[in-house]
Amino acid sequence: MATIPIATDQTVAVLRVARRGYRALQNVPVIPLLMLGVLTAMAILAPIVAPHSKLDPVKPLRGQCLAKFNMPDCPYVDNAPPFWAAGGTLDTPLGTDSLGRDVLSRLMHGARISLIVALTGTLFAGAIGTILGVLAGYMGRWWDEIIMRITDAWLTLPSLVFAILLSSVREPSLWNVVLILGLVFWSRYSRAVRGEVLTLRERDFVKLAEINGIDKLTIIRRHLIPNVMNTVMVLFSLQVGVAVIIEASLSFLGFGVPPPEPSWGLMMAQERESLMEGRWWLEVFPGICITMLVLSANMLGDWLRVRLDPQLRNR
Amino acid sequence: MIKRAFAILSVLTFTCGVAWGQSTPSTTKPILSGPLAKLDIKDAQIEPGRGVPKGTLRVGLHFGIDPGWFDPLGYYGPALHFYYLVHDALIKPMPQGEFTYSLAERAEMSADFRRAAFRLRPGLKFQDGHPLTTADVKWTYENYRGLGFKYLQDKTENIQLVDDRTIIFHFKTPFVDFLDLYSGSGSGIGWIVPRHYYEQVGKDGFKARPMGAGPFKFVSQEAGVQVSFEAWDQYWRRVPGVKTINIKAIRDLAARMAGLETGELDLAYGMTGKLLQRVMADPKLRWDPNYTSPWHLVFPGYNEPSSPFHDPRVRQAVSLAINRQFLVKQETQGIGKPWGNWISHENRDALRGDGTDLPVPPYDPAKAKQLLAEVGYPNGFDFDWYVPFAPYYDMAERILNDLRAVGMRSKVQMLDAPAYMAQTSKGRKGFPGNRTIVQRIDPRPGGAKELIRLYAVCDGPASYICEPKLETLWAKHEASIDVAERDRLSKELQRAIVEGYYLVPVYLNPFVHAVTQKVLPEGQTVHRYWDTVNAPFPWPWEVWEVKG
Amino acid sequence: MKKYILVRALYSVVTLWLLVTIIFGLVRLTGDPVAMKAEAGADPAYVAQLRHSWGLDQPLHRQYMGFIGRLLRGDFGHSFEKSLPVRDIYFERLPNSLKLGFAAFLISLALGVPFGMLSALKVNSVWDNAGKVIALLGLSMPGFFVGLVLIIVFGIQLGWLPVLGKGSSAFVWSAPSTWATFWFRDWAHLAMPAFALGWYFSGAMLRITRSGMLDVLGSDYIKLVRLKGVPEAVVVAKHALKNSMIPVLTFAGLNLLIMVNVSVVIEVIFNWPGVGQLLYDALSNRDFPMVQGVVLMSGLLIVLLNFTIDVLYGYVDPRIRLSR
């Protein structure tokens, strides 16, 4: 009689894990996470992987100076196209800009700057907004009224005012942009968080904690903040995209990360005329990077919102 | 009978004599008594016929429009662009020359420069028909509150109205530069404002609806956005060639370029930088280089011993390190001119920096490094800031690259235009510390002496330079009332400043203007619109013509 | 009800007062406008006269009291940079911004709502994702880039649309266009800036429409209508869409006013003479009265809108007005 192989315990266990993993993978938004992963890797590895410096012009190869300027030797060759076009070299695969700097290296370093600015700025705004929202929702009438009036007034202040104010008072820098983002956007968080807290504080576990005599600050720390995190996380991922675009707009108006640092928004803002002149690579490559970052952040945010909101999850 | 014939003859002779005396053009009759100073004022060149204005000229201005610029009593900033449209002056710079007769047909100054006299043309009117008389000239002078008003009014003892067309200014002390300030290029005091209208509508009303004696009448405006003018066919010099002029404020370079290419603009200013190549390559556009003034670098606080720029060899090293030929290729597609002076050659008393008067500064980075080693910086040094002229940040990067190559390292300090203006207008006092290099350009009228007075003397309002040798020369200049000697001293001062490396000139800046095919005359003769000396914009406006 | 309205009115006034005070302080920290307007070599008499005519030589509290006093009389002061009364200049520009905002709003509806509906009806399908990407692309590209591409393609290469803001048409330069002539003749100038701005907001419209539709489609009311045998198309068009429009319209009103901030970039690129550009110029030149005036007016409009919405909600839903 032939024996029929029976699945052993081990095989069954492995299969079960694999099945669960496969189902989990189906629900995860693969494309946005992949895009974000690539950009983050670029940001972290930039100093090691980038072929040239982000600030110094690239030393021209033999023959490039002659070809472009008819001079035997020149400090740099500006506006070289990407390697597949005439006049481009593999040394600078995505071309050079008007000061002779390598576009690819600047894009990689730019990932750092754009990610730092967007993430830190949004975190800063989120922190302030969440704290104020929780205080407004939980600490009583007077706290609520005062904070909400300030929030209303603050919502109507244009971000440009802060931009100009900060650039007059401090040296223009990366941290100015982070401050601007924080100062402008906290009000978006505080309203939403306050709404959440108003419902939360009627829940049984909070009432129980109050009855047991636990002080307000511990309740905030232990019960309220963890439970508003869902809303905050969703808002956060959606605001990251907005932050990147605002940074680009501020650079266009002259108040963003100061040159020569290679932030993507600044690269796009400075090279607008190059697009008109036909030097499309200087504008399009940073544009692709920004679009990838914002799209993936937004798609991730939308997915998170559906995942974390029990009502929407089953649709 | 003989008695009667004699009487008739004498009456006839007398009448003929009087008639002949009247027909002598009154321009040749002197106003002042005594010896007169020699003035070089050109003829107005009035058009013999009266034509018909045709077409619309649409202009793209690269900055916002301030209605305050329509009022000569409050002169500041680029107001001259609008004065040439709506107003007129007694004498003003024209293509004919730096001083050209306009409302005045004769001007004199006494040899001791203590009196100045003008005679207006006959039959002058404002645009509403009201006659323009010396009463308006006097009223304008006394009510002027723009730049320099106190200086002018304090120096004037009294203003004498001889008649409706003749006026004499009496000064307390010899005023050699009076015509420079009164000739409508350095202040608003020479541009005549209609007293009756101004008093009727008030300051705000005048800014909202200005009126003057110039070739174009104001039609309408949207504050800060655009303003429109229409030809005045009663203008004394000629009927303007264009029927309407519409000026729009378009700050964005790409937008001005787009406007030229689609034909929505006929003339646009400031087409330099990244789009110059496109302007040059477009067969439908013509462009004028419009050289304004040379870029130069100053060193605030250089005369303090702790400053790295204290030793002139360091400043010379800065000059040697800059690769001007490559810089003009990159920044201006090669049309900029490396220049050896910091003052525009269009000034009468300026030295040319292209080798004729002053040499073009050489490029020698090896010598620069050697000089630095001599002074005690074998590995170069770091300084605090390089302050660029907003928004030429790319140019600042290029120059810093050059400096870095010989060992002088720093960062670019980003100031926006108003902050830059505020700091640099205070001179050395506008910058903390003494380890800064500031990039400057100043295309203002008034001659080299005006720029020296502002920047290169110890108590100048925006002083960057303070040297005893220069002070002695300047004192001699101020004391002299001989024009030739003043010019000579001014040139000596310029040479001393450049040779002492108190400033480092870079290149003569072209501030390119572009016109479309709609502008007449066709071809390259269109450049005649830019003939006026020391003019940042192509005035006078009455000579412009476009296709209908 | 009356008490509710009064309380909300009081809140609005407090918010406005806070806004005015904050902007008064903030703007004075940005630098000295007199130093920026006076050129090199300006004589001290001229500078002193300028400072006096702008009221900046007075101590701060006097400036503040004077400012509030004039404000209550409706006088916003004289612009430093443009030398004319702030109120006149602002109201000259406001219709331009409203035109742009309104057109952008229509475009954002036209792009966002259909895709939102599609997303809601075919959840998690290819259509859902495609629609989301198209609307989100508007959010993912900086406005100055979108604007420039539009100018290059439609303005320069194809020559279909004019590239400069309203008023450059030969017919209309001499007289500010009236609303009627605008909508028939000048719409071409509005097309590109409105599209660039509208595309940006269509992402938000899509999200709101989608979530509103999903809410409604899952409700009992719709289940009942379906049970009655009403065809699906009618269910969607007549019942679901109508009910999901409420949050869209609420959001839209606020959006129109928030567009002042976002539209600065669009206005600068297309040279559209609106309030955003006015604010940018004023801030760049440290024009205190103009900045204060623009921020206050924008704030006033937003506060008025909030007040109206609160009153309407209170009227419609008794729980809200009785809860405090």
Q: What are the start-end ranges of the H helices in chain A? A: 9-27, 30-49, 64-69, 103-138, 141-155, 159-169, 174-200, 204-211, 216-219, 225-253, 264-270, 272-277, 281-308, 310-313
Q: What integer pLDDT is reported at residue B477 of this predicted model?
A: 92
CB within 8 Å: B264 and C281: no
Q: Are B93 and B165 in contact (CB under 8 A)?
A: no
Whether C320 shows a pLDDT value over 70: the answer reads no
Tens-place pLDDT, residues A122-179: 999 999 999 999 888 888 888 888 888 888 888 778 777 887 788 777 777 888 889 9
CB within 8 Å: A248 and C142: yes
Q: What integer pLDDT is reported at residue A172 of this predicted model?
A: 78
Does residue C84 belong to the interface with chain B, where contact is any CB pair within 8 Å?
A: yes
Does residue B275 belong to the interface with chain A, where contact is any CB pair within 8 Å?
A: yes
Q: Hey, which residues 184-243 in chain A have their CB within 8 Å of chain B?
A: none
Does residue B417 belong to the interface with chain A, where contact is any CB pair within 8 Å?
A: no
| CA B241/CA B215 separation, integer angstroms | 10
* Tally of residues, chain A: 315
| CA B209/CA C280 separation, integer angstroms | 25
| CA B77/CA A124 separation, integer angstroms | 42
A231, B269, B485 from B35: Cα distances, Å: 90, 46, 19
Q: Are A126 and A189 in contact (CB under 8 A)?
A: yes
In sign, the C-alpha dihedral spanning B223, B229, B235, B241 is: positive
Closest-CA residue of A relative to B334 is: A69
Average confidence (pLDDT) over C311-323 = 65
* Tally of residues, chain C: 324
Residue entry with tokens 């290729």: B329
CA distance A279 to chain B (A): 11
Q: Are C186 and C162 in contact (CB under 8 A)?
A: no
| CA C113/CA C135 separation, integer angstroms | 10
Q: Which of B178, B237, B216, B205 is nearest to B83 (CA)?
A: B216
Q: 3-class DSSP state for residue C297?
A: helix
Paired tokens of A67 = 């070809």
- Phi and psi based region of residue C286 (left: phi greater than 0; alpha: psi -120 to 50; beta: remaining): left
Give the single-character DSSP code of B185: S
Instruction: Return the CA Rg of chain B.
Output: 26
| CA C270/CA B254 separation, integer angstroms | 10
Phi and psi at C11, nearest 5°, equal -60, -45
Paired tokens of C288 = 């205190």
Q: Hey, which residues 138-177 in chain A have their CB within 8 Å of chain B?
A: 167-168, 171-172
Measure the CA angle with vertex A181, ends A175 and A183; round to 5°. 100
Paired tokens of A289 = 């990077």
| CA A258/CA A273 separation, integer angstroms | 19
- The chain-wide mean pLDDT, for chain C, equals 79
CA distance C280 to chain A (A): 7
Q: What integer pLDDT is reported at residue C261 of this predicted model?
A: 64
| CA A54/CA A33 separation, integer angstroms | 27
Tens-place pLDDT, residues C111-135: 888 888 887 777 777 777 787 788 7
| CA B198/CA B212 separation, integer angstroms | 10
Paired tokens of C125 = 């399908």
> Beta strand pairing status for B286-288 and B408-412?
unpaired
Does residue C219 belong to the interface with chain A, where contact is any CB pair within 8 Å?
A: no
Tens-place pLDDT, residues C142-182: 888 888 888 888 888 887 777 777 643 333 333 455 555 55
Whether A25 shows a pLDDT value over 70: the answer reads no
DSSP strands (E only) in B172-268: 216-222, 226-231, 244-249, 267-268
| CA A135/CA A195 separation, integer angstroms | 11
> Going by C-beta distance under 8 Å and a sequence separation of 6 or more, which residues neighbour residue C312?
none
Paired tokens of B208 = 């909202």
In sign, the C-alpha dihedral spanning B131, B132, B135, B136 is: positive
| CA B263/CA B60 separation, integer angstroms | 12
What burial class does residue A231 get, using C-beta atoms within 10 Å of its C-beta: 0-12 exposed, 13-18 middle, 19+ buried?
Answer: buried
Residue entry with tokens 């002074």: B375
> How many other CB atoms sit within 10 Å of the CB of residue C270?
33
- Phi and psi based region of residue B223 (left: phi greater than 0; alpha: psi -120 to 50; beta: remaining): beta
> How many other CB atoms sit within 10 Å of the CB of residue B435?
19
| CA C120/CA C115 separation, integer angstroms | 9
pLDDT in tens, chain B (548 residues): 677 776 676 666 665 555 454 444 456 778 888 888 888 899 988 888 888 999 999 999 998 888 989 999 988 878 889 999 999 999 999 999 889 999 999 999 999 899 999 999 999 999 999 999 999 999 999 999 888 888 889 999 999 999 999 999 999 999 988 988 898 787 889 999 999 999 999 998 999 999 999 999 999 988 888 899 999 999 999 999 999 999 999 888 888 998 998 888 999 999 988 889 899 999 999 999 999 999 999 999 998 999 999 999 999 999 999 999 999 988 999 999 999 999 988 888 899 999 999 999 999 999 999 999 999 999 989 998 999 997 788 899 899 989 998 999 988 887 878 788 888 888 898 898 899 999 999 888 778 888 898 899 998 888 999 999 999 999 999 998 888 899 999 999 999 999 999 999 999 999 999 999 999 998 899 999 999 888 889 999 999 999 97
Closest-CA residue of C relative to B218 is: C174
Paired tokens of A34 = 């992949």
CA distance B297 to chain C (A): 16
Does residue C19 belong to the interface with chain A, where contact is any CB pair within 8 Å?
A: yes
- Above pLDDT 70, what percent of chain C? 84
DSSP per-residue codes, C209-227: HHHHHHHHHTSHHHHHHHH
| CA B214/CA A289 separation, integer angstroms | 55
Instruction: Return the CA Rg of chain A.
Output: 26
Q: Hey, which residues 109-128 in chain A have their CB within 8 Å of chain C?
A: none
Phi and psi at B334, nearest 5°, equal 90, -5
Residues of chain B positioned with their CB less than 8 A from the CB of C170: 56
All domains in chain A, ordered by first residue: 57-101 (no CATH), 102-315 (1.10.3720.10)
Instruction: List beta partners, residue B507.
Output: B338
> How many other CB atoms sit within 10 Å of the CB of residue C65?
11
| CA A304/CA C252 separation, integer angstroms | 25
The whole model's pTM is what?
A: 0.84
Q: Specify the range with the lowest mean pLDDT, choosing from A74-78, B164-168, B354-358, C312-316.
A: C312-316
Paired tokens of B90 = 């007694």
Whether A119 shows a pLDDT value over 60: the answer reads yes
Tens-place pLDDT, residues B242-252: 999 999 998 88
Q: Which of B168, B175, B180 is nearest to B154 (CA)?
A: B175
Q: Hey, which residues 159-198 in chain C have their CB within 8 Å of chain B?
A: 159, 162-165, 167-168, 170, 173-176
Tens-place pLDDT, residues C144-154: 888 888 888 88
| CA B284/CA C239 separation, integer angstroms | 58
Measure the CA angle with vertex B315, ends B312 and B321; round to 5°. 140
B112-115: long-range contacts at Cβ-Cβ below 8 A with a sequence spacing of 24 or more?
B112/B174, B112/B481, B113/B37, B113/B171, B113/B174, B113/B175, B113/B176, B113/B178, B113/B481, B114/B170, B114/B171, B114/B173, B114/B174, B114/B175, B115/B32, B115/B168, B115/B169, B115/B170, B115/B171
DSSP per-residue codes, C227-270: HTT--HHHIIIIIIHHHHHHHHHHHHHHHHHHHHHHHHHHHHHH
End-to-end CA distance of chain B: 71
Q: Which of B289, B331, B274, B301 is nearest to B506 (CA)?
A: B331
Residues of chain C positioned with their CB less than 8 A from the CB of A157: 19, 22-23, 295, 299
In sign, the C-alpha dihedral spanning A98, A104, A106, A110 is: positive
**Of C85, C88, C162, which is closest to B262 when you measure between CB atoms?**
C162
Whether A315 shows a pLDDT value over 70: the answer reads no
* Tally of residues, chain B: 548
pLDDT band at C183 (very low <50, low <70, confident <90, very high): low
Paired tokens of C67 = 């400012």
Closest-CA residue of C relative to B426 is: C40
Q: Chain A: list its partners (3+ Cβ pairs within 8 Å).
A: B, C
Give the single-character DSSP code of B67: G
CB within 8 Å: C92 and B207: no
End-to-end CA distance of chain C: 12
Q: What integer pLDDT is reported at residue B12 of this predicted model?
A: 64
> How many other CB atoms sit within 10 Å of the CB of residue B14?
10
Whether A27 shows a pLDDT value over 80: the answer reads no
Q: Which of A293, A281, A186 is nearest to A236 (CA)?
A: A186
pLDDT band at A79 (very low <50, low <70, confident <90, very high): confident
Phi and psi at A260, nearest 5°, equal -90, 10
Say what angle helices A103-138 and A30-49 make with each other, to 10 degrees.
120
Tens-place pLDDT, residues B7-20: 676 666 665 555 45
Amino acid occupying residue A194: R
Q: What integer pLDDT is reported at residue A312 of this predicted model?
A: 52
- Above pLDDT 70, what percent of chain A? 93
CA distance A234 to chain C (A): 13
